[in-house]
Amino acid sequence: MQQEKIWDADAAQRYDTPGSGMFAPEVLGPAVERLAELAEDGAALEFAIGTGRVAVPLAERGVPVTGIELSLPMVEQLRTKADESTIPVVIGDMATTAAPGKYTLVYLVYNTISNLLTQDEQVQCFRNAARHLTPGGRFVIELWVPELRRLPPGRTATVWQSEPGYIGLDTYDVLHQHVVSHHFHFDDTQQARLFRSPHRYIWPAELDLMARLAGFELEARHADWAGAEFTAESRSHVSVYRIPPIR
């Protein structure tokens, strides 16, 4: 499964859910506020900008935002909300593609670093973030904590969400740290719609080591955008890495 094939025109058209899910004000509001604070007075670069779920409100909040994105259909959706001069986007792979200029903030949210399926690509992604930052600049990652405690010995799949009309099921290859998320949407008919996405999961400690390889220090880690304490039970984290300022 290649990312370009996953994030096709159909996925792009279904992605936005204005006002609900990942587009709910209580989800987006704190994320945008925190990112604006971390950008200080500089510009931000979003890796895997998608349809601009975060970039559009962040730009409206007064932070200049540029994006890097692999999928043309996702960018076409973004273009229904913001033009090229408001939010410029470079088409390419976030692990290797260069965007013009320097930034005080690079951010990569909604678990998307895990869309890179090898450790090498994930380290490259950190290095690419570092290349775009000014001294003292920050790289912010939002990522889920791998849920291997839900996987009984000998089993390779877990249902992580089950509700009327939707089942979320993950299949694991623990040897390669790979998980494929299966999203089944169904109604009263015999038909179901399936969206699948492959990921390489990363433990927080491995993420910190990748950051160090690229010259970052961990500045902060919280369980959410509002600053809740990160604990052993946290299911997700927002980690802020920083290039040391020049002294």
Ligand X SMILES: C[S@@+](CC[C@H](N)C(=O)[O-])C[C@H]1O[C@@H](n2cnc3c(N)ncnc32)[C@H](O)[C@@H]1O
Using CB under 6 A as the binding rule, whether residue 54 contacts ligand X is answered as yes
DSSP label of 175: G
74 binds ligand X (CB under 6 A): yes
By CB under 6 A, tell whether 94 contacts ligand X: yes
Q: Which of 166, 191, 164 is nearest to 181 (CA)?
A: 166
DSSP string, 170-239: EEEEGGGTEEEEEEEEE-SSS-EEEEEEEEE---HHHHHHHHHHTT-EEEEEESSTT-PBP-TT-SEEEE
- Left if phi > 0, otherwise alpha if psi is -120 to 50, otherwise beta: which for 136? left
To ligand X, the closest distance from the beta carbon of 25 in angstroms equals 15
User: What minimum distance in Å lies between the beta carbon of 213 and ligand X?
Assistant: 18
Size of the site for ligand X (CB under 6 A): 20
Q: Is 70 a binder of ligand X (CB under 6 A)?
A: yes
What's CA 237's distance to the chain center, in Å?
11
- Decide if residue 50 touches ligand X (CB under 6 A): yes
CB of 184 to ligand X, least distance (A): 18
Determine if 53 is a binding residue for ligand X (CB under 6 A): yes
Distance CA 80, CA 53 (A): 12
Q: Is 208 a binder of ligand X (CB under 6 A)?
A: no
Is 34 among the residues that bind ligand X (CB under 6 A)? no
Which residues here bind ligand X, judged by CB under 6 A? 3, 7, 48-50, 53-54, 68-71, 74, 93-95, 109-110, 112, 115-116
